[in-house]
Structure 1
């Protein structure tokens, strides 16, 4: 039996890049896939590729940032494939600017696509799964979110993107804590791979180019997709509330914020006392990873 046989997934932003790779890998492992992308031709090409290899997939072009339209995406999956088990929130955009030059629109566009986009479909899927659980059915469902190294440690020139991706990481922790009672897991992935966005940067395009000698393609997006296929499977029912980083053949878990031992005076501090105290705490703490680009 294939890893994802008899399971149904919605994958957003699946017309290209990581989303297309996820869709093809999922389908290759037996999953029925709703290929969601606002670019119909791109989504159709992915679906045709999947179907040509014997897989099951359909096109959906609804706007993931529209709450009502997102309900339609969930209903499309259920009506076409008689169920839904997995939501992969992958769709995203960039509006890179230094913070001092960033416009309100630059900020709002990123928050809408990333944070609201992660909320809308997941909200409707969770309501569907919760209703099944309350009706006594066994639910084995997955939410897989997409964060970024920018969200985990910051990135120069991407304060909007970093803030949204950090929000997605925190959202994942909340979803895992709240939804486990219904048989739903929530995890996030911080991927590094060759996509349209990365290849638009000349330096990255050279670094991430596919090797011509047939050696291991380190930056192939499928290297990330196989981790998602595992997380989407029944085998990963015990894995929830984790943020994974994936690059090439390397997989690791990103640790979150942790409270240090600190200093307790058992009384109110005088501000004049805090200089040495704060300096001591900083010296004793484990430094955060450097902000990308700094």
Structure 2
């Protein structure tokens, strides 16, 4: 049966899973130059960043990721990762039909779906370092396929989900917060612009060009963008640029000038001023605090 396009302006990626054992995994190296777009699929997706850093675009939000962090993506949730070409990130991704795997624990899946709007899709390693250990155990079982591996994978994933729920619903960690509501209607309308901004944040982007990508007037585009992202287009673009700049400062030895040009600033003074407004530190001081 053909997949119904829930989000016509976002790519649908088919993830073939066995009805008998609906779990698969793959290794992925993410470059910024890769031709990728916001996409979604039917399965749950759990990722582990093995190396690198960058941004994860999920729905209408941007999240910074680093080595050791986990991602947790729901079915039909638009997402894409972006990493600087200078330091491409490496990931393992597990895709699974968790409804089938955890069919004997209805409460777990039900609670996941109920809490969906409140759960952060990026889980910092610092929140619970054991999550990465569990994840690697699942990958090892999927690779070796030793006797009874399917049962072990199911049990480990079940345990991993419980641990994820505990971590994400904790109020003790500052990175866990309630995110603004996701409006699918407005998101669909502006998704061509979001797609373009996620890959071309280093270019000079005009509001007229972005509105044109969405076949909207500038005023209508501004209104829908604000409803979808709770930010103006300029605020959203600045957030992407600042988060990517912070990632480059942390994970590369590129000069501040080179980083400023990479993320779309024509003058170093403008970049320094914007970065300080965003992080309350100059780029140079920010880098020093990481050493």
TM-score, normalised with respect to structure 1: 0.24
